Structure 1
Amino acid sequence: MACIVFTSYKHSVVLVDKLPALQYRQRSTRNSTSHYTNVTTHVAFLKVHKAGSTTVQNLLFRFGMRHDLNILLPKSGNYLNRASQKMSLKAGQKSYDIFACHTIYQKQWFDSLLPTDSVYIGIVRDPVERMISSAYYYRDVFGVGYLKRVPRANFIHDLVNYPDKYDTAFFSHTRNSMGKDFGFRRGIEPTNKSKIRKYLDQLNSQFLLVLIMEKFDESLVMLKRLLNWSFGDIIYLKMNSHKHEHTVLNSTEIAKFRNTSFLDFEIYEYFSNVFETKLKQTEDEFYKEVEFFQTTLDKTSEFCSRKNKTEIVALSFGKSKWDEKFQVTQLDCEWMKTKELSFISKLRSTKHIQLA
């Protein structure tokens, strides 16, 4: 079999020009290093708006397909807030395994969706960067009314400096959005620190991991270790990124925004501290694993962006100290590039999809 071999950071990358059909199957198990054990297959993901969550959703959908799991979807759209919106299980299926669509978090609601041994994960993003991304996205892509009314010349600055004029709702696309997604109730006062902290402590006890977008790769490697997954399970291409004008707020504007979107700052700072604590508890080997993962991402991006897709059909990574060998196929590339609504539509309409 003809191939090209690259050596990078103590692992080999092989581009294969002919690949026999492969069936992804449920692995037996592995421990925290390289041998399979107790792979977690019941996962509910809180898809937080404009926080890198579409990328996480995509890899969860692919994980479900690869392991022939039942993925919970709404009957229409990409939001699931009521039991009546759930698609019915197919004949012979006992429960759902994966949930990764938009919803508002409530523990009882999440508990009702998946088996009792399911783990909950979420994601957060720097509130200022999330707000800027969200403002441009919902103005330019969806034409949201209140955002279109803000003058374009000083769009973000006016939105932040004049919230009483342009962004009056307690929850909006640009105000306390993460707070809404995580289930905070409308009207909670910023001075009620103890109530906010109590709910954040509850969330921390209910979520196995809250990923940090600014440390996305570290978060995914942490997730891989906690769920005993493979690098092949967390490989990704960046999704749903909307290009927009670069905007920098000054310290006064950040203070104003912190005042109006206080829940998002509380959430982000709380879970950033939790994640930093988790990082401090890891060994030096963790960062070498992250570096290894980032090398695989670079190679995968290069492979998936090739113009000539007929000559080489798979990218094969050799066994490492952190994982067994795995492959990225052209089909994987296609699914990684699939937009959210299209992915959900295909999952709905296809009786059985399996990555091969």
Structure 2
Amino acid sequence: MNYMYNHYLVLCTMAGPFRHGRKAVLSIICCTSLLILMVCNIAELLINYQSVLVPLPPQPIITEYTEPPKRCHPREHIVSLKTHKTAGSTLASIFQRYGMSRNLTFVTPIGNRTAFSTGIKTNIVYGYSIVVKYLGGFDMSVCHGHYSRTEMNKIIPNATYVTTIRNPVDRFVSSFVYYKYYEQVHIPYNTENILSKFFTVKDFSSKIKYGRSQLANGIARDFQVNTTGSITNELRRIDHDFDLIILSEYFDESLILLKNLLCWEMDDLLYLSIRKHDKTYDHLYNVSDEVKSHIVGINSIDAALYEHFNKTFWQKVKAYGPRFSVELAELRRRLGMLHRECSASVRQDSHNKWGFNEYKLLPNDTEYCKKFFIVDDDNTKQYRSDLKRKLMLFEKEKKTETTNGKWGS
């Protein structure tokens, strides 16, 4: 409109000197048109000014957490592949608290073990035949054990699959402390640049006995990756088989994705980290570039796994949308409340032989806090004991019905 206004202004200026005849008429027309345009221009300015004074309603911005309406049902058939030194115990405890409060049935090894030393197979699952045939089947598996989709499908059909991974450098350092690799190659703990010194030991891998499986490509071992085949095919297989792969460095962010995947409530995801590495080992995590190269060199497959799933993780976060940051803030707010409520009921032990501090309840603990301080191994023993009682009751009822002729063949 400003362009037209200027154009007419020029014409009127040119026509101004002519007062008679046709040119006088042209002058009148130009001036009239100019007047009309000025009125329109003023009206436009008034409208714009009014829009400043009375702005349009802003787009809705989520600033407070409100639980969205549920359009799904909670998933309770879950296989959580517990990997080593990746916050797997913390995740297992979350599943255990949820399942035990709802009387769900967990997969446990036979005997008194709390982990499957090799693959999880039906013949070494405690009570497998009876539970699957007569007691409704298993609901959750959260123990250590090598991954096998074929076997797990027999134990928990149609399950949701999750697991955790960690940056291979940090995971190696954690294993280095936990399994005391330095002692196994006869390096004193107080040795300067102890990690660099470790990699100068000739044939160090052959000298490691305890925790050797986690020295190199431990995550790939847990996933049962075919190390002689195409890594691309293995990544594609794991991508297909697992619904969510949690990054331990971004554990809280991962829990938001898990909440959405499982259709759980926010409070179902609360946790306390009751085992943290002793701060006297902090200096080990300041790794030089040279040591990083050594670690990645012997963990090349784990590094490829982490790089791939780190990328797909953030793609899922982005796809979640703007609500993600709101839910993350709410989760951390509730975690802070939990810590404030329960931290007064704990004391810190001196670091133990595993290289981490444990936090234990004091005598004035509350029942609410108590459940967050039960480690996953103790939960495993508890629900195996509960399952044992169920099996004994079943056998007793079966025997009674057999005696009364009610039990079919």
Task: Tell me the TM-score normalized by structure 2.
Answer: 0.66
Matched residue, 1:44: 79
| Cα distance in 2, alignment partners of residues 41 and 130 from structure 1 | 29
- CA positional deviation for 1:146: 7.0
Alignment of 1:1-356 (within 5 A): 10=64, 33-35=68-70, 37-75=72-110, 76-80=112-116, 81=119, 82-88=121-127, 92-115=134-157, 117-139=158-180, 147=184, 149-152=186-189, 153=191, 154-159=193-198, 161-162=199-200, 164-168=202-206, 172-185=213-226, 188=227, 195-243=230-278, 244-246=280-282, 247=284, 248-307=286-345, 330-350=366-386
**Secondary structure at 2:326 match in 1:** helix
**Secondary structure at 2:264 match in 1:** coil
| Cα distance in 2, alignment partners of residues 151 and 166 from structure 1 | 15
- Contact between 2:342 and 2:369, CA under 8 Å: does it hold in 1? yes
**Secondary structure at 1:241 match in 2:** strand
Percent identity (aligned): 22
With over 3 angstroms needed to count, the CA separation of the structure-2 counterparts of 1:145 and 1:340, relative to structure 1, is farther
With over 3 angstroms needed to count, the CA separation of the structure-2 counterparts of 1:276 and 1:299, relative to structure 1, is same
| Cα distance in 1, alignment partners of residues 84 and 144 from structure 2 | 8
| Cα distance in 2, alignment partners of residues 110 and 67 from structure 1 | 22
List per-residue Cα deviations over 1:187-210 (Å, max 9, x = no partner): x36xx6xx0111011100110000
Give the CA RMSD over aligned residues: 2.7
Aligned amino acid, residue 151 of structure 2:
W
- CA positional deviation for 1:301: 1.2
- Contact between 1:138 and 1:173, CA under 8 Å: does it hold in 2? no
More helix by share: 2
List per-residue Cα deviations over 1:256-294 (Å, max 9, x = no partner): 221111111011111111101111112111111101100
With over 3 angstroms needed to count, the CA separation of the structure-2 counterparts of 1:334 and 1:254, relative to structure 1, is same
| Cα distance in 2, alignment partners of residues 220 and 347 from structure 1 | 24
**Secondary structure at 2:268 match in 1:** helix
- Contact between 2:176 and 2:182, CA under 8 Å: does it hold in 1? no
**Secondary structure at 1:120 match in 2:** strand
| Cα distance in 2, alignment partners of residues 240 and 255 from structure 1 | 29
- Contact between 2:65 and 2:327, CA under 8 Å: does it hold in 1? no
- CA positional deviation for 1:86: 1.0
Bigger drift between 341-350 and 294-303 goes to 341-350
List per-residue Cα deviations over 1:242-264 (Å, max 9, x = no partner): 32512222112212221111111
- CA positional deviation for 1:239: 3.9
Matched residue, 2:398: none
Aligned amino acid, residue 100 of structure 2:
M
- Contact between 2:65 and 2:326, CA under 8 Å: does it hold in 1? no
Matched residue, 1:325: none
Task: Tell me the TM-score normalized by structure 1.
Answer: 0.75
| Cα distance in 1, alignment partners of residues 305 and 93 from structure 2 | 24
List per-residue Cα deviations over 1:296-348 (Å, max 9, x = no partner): 0010111122349xxxxxxxxxxxxxxxxxxxx94342122112322211122
| Cα distance in 1, alignment partners of residues 194 and 154 from structure 2 | 41
- Contact between 1:49 and 1:177, CA under 8 Å: does it hold in 2? yes
With over 3 angstroms needed to count, the CA separation of the structure-2 counterparts of 1:267 and 1:171, relative to structure 1, is farther
The answer for unaligned runs of 5 or more in structure 2 is: 1-62, 347-364, 391-409
Tell me how many residue pairs correspond in the alignment: 294
| Cα distance in 1, alignment partners of residues 185 and 271 from structure 2 | 33
Aligned amino acid, residue 324 of structure 2:
F
| Cα distance in 2, alignment partners of residues 101 and 239 from structure 1 | 18
List per-residue Cα deviations over 1:65-113 (Å, max 9, x = no partner): 1222111111221222332321115674121000000001122122222
Higher relative contact order (CA 8 A, sep 6+): 1
| Cα distance in 2, alignment partners of residues 94 and 249 from structure 1 | 50
With over 3 angstroms needed to count, the CA separation of the structure-2 counterparts of 1:149 and 1:184, relative to structure 1, is farther
With over 3 angstroms needed to count, the CA separation of the structure-2 counterparts of 1:164 and 1:260, relative to structure 1, is farther
Structure 1 runs of 4+ aligned residues shifted over 4 Å read 9-12, 89-92, 168-171
Aligned amino acid, residue 124 of structure 2:
Q
- CA positional deviation for 1:178: 0.9
- Contact between 1:54 and 1:340, CA under 8 Å: does it hold in 2? yes
| Cα distance in 1, alignment partners of residues 92 and 315 from structure 2 | 25
